[in-house]
Amino acid sequence: MKKISFIVLCVFASAILITNCVLIYQNSKIQMDFADTAQVHFSKLLSAVGAIQNLSNIILSNQDELSSSFDDRISSSEFVLIDHNGEYTSLGLNFSFSKVDKDENISLVLHEIGSDSFQRIELSKIYGVYYKAELRLSPEKEYYYQFSFEKDGVVTSSREYRIPVYYYNPYTWNVIPQFVNYDTKKQTVTIEFRLDSISSKPYFKEFQINSARLVVYKNGMKLEEIPYNINSYGNQSWVNFEFEGSNIDDYDFYLQVEYSGGFEKRQKIDEPENPLWKEVLSHCYWFSKGR
């Protein structure tokens, strides 16, 4: 009996030993496979990094080649205000080149951003390498320009230059109407008209605001003008208009702005499609029905 037990114990111990040997072999194989896989992936990673570096070098090389393809001879440039008629701004562009070849034809190409349209403008020579051009720009649009050089049938171009809007756009305000109060005792409605600036400070003083006022009409007749204090709160200012009666549709409201350059701009506030004005109307109608 003892001999059988001993034999069973030996078999069991042998089985455990064989199992451990198998596990150790498999673990070693997994580690070797993992090492091989890691080495393969690491090699691929190094290859990808090398490809990225090569691509970066190619891009930088092409960028240098592209930059060198521009004919940049502009030494200086300056914008001057010629005129503004309320719809368009005429700007003068004075500039100079580092050199101008003999019999070379130079023109300015004006592009409207977001459009395929462009305008080729001939330059006026002042003297030597100094030239000027006149640009007619709409304050509602954005532009860039570049120079074109032509000689002996060969045409080269400068890089593109964007024209900052503060050179040709007058200071612009956005009017925010807001229902303030309905006085049940006096049976009057009060509406606030607040100004918020929506453009950057203009470069030329002619485009700065000299005065602003709310102009109110009733049944087509001018009823009242209320001036804004445009410096009362930084870039914000507001006025209140109080009126009797419930029929707000009898009234029309305008923002009248006078600029330092002597021109004026008029904006209708109570446009039917204005969502802020629709909200004012809904409040007025609601309170008038509750009277």
The token pair that represents 33 in the structure block: 């496979």
Per-position DSSP letters for 225-280, written without gaps between them: EEE--TTTBTTEEEEEEEEESS-GGGEEEEEEEEETTS-EEEEES--TT-HHHHHH
The pLDDT score that the predictor gives to residue 167 is 93
pLDDT for residue 109: 95
Tokens of 135: 């640009």
pLDDT at 56: 47
The tokens for 283 are 């409040």
Neighbours of 250 (CB within 10 A): 13
DSSP state string for 42-110 = HHHHHHHHHHHHHHHHHHHHHHHHHHHHS---EEEEEEEEEEE-SS-EEEEEEEEES---TT-EEEEEE
Per-residue pLDDT, 8: 44
pLDDT of res. 137: 94
pTM of this prediction exceeds 0.85: no
pLDDT of residue 214: 94
Note the pLDDT tens digit of each residue in 195-220. Answer: 877 667 889 999 888 889 999 999 99
Cα 73 to Cα 98: distance, rounded to the nearest angstrom: 5
Q: Please give the helix or strand (H or E) that residue 149 lies within, else none.
A: strand 143-151
From the first residue on, what is the mean pLDDT of each consecutive set of 10 residues in the chain (291 residues)?
45 52 52 49 48 48 46 85 89 92 89 92 91 93 93 89 92 84 80 80 88 92 90 65 79 92 89 89 75 54
CB 255 within 8 Å of CB 230: no
Rounded Cα distance, 268 and 254, in Å: 4
CA distances to 96, 169, 274 from 268, in Å? 44, 19, 10
CA distance 227 to 206: 20
pLDDT for 237 equals: 83
CA dist list (Å): 278 to 190, 248, 281: 15, 12, 5
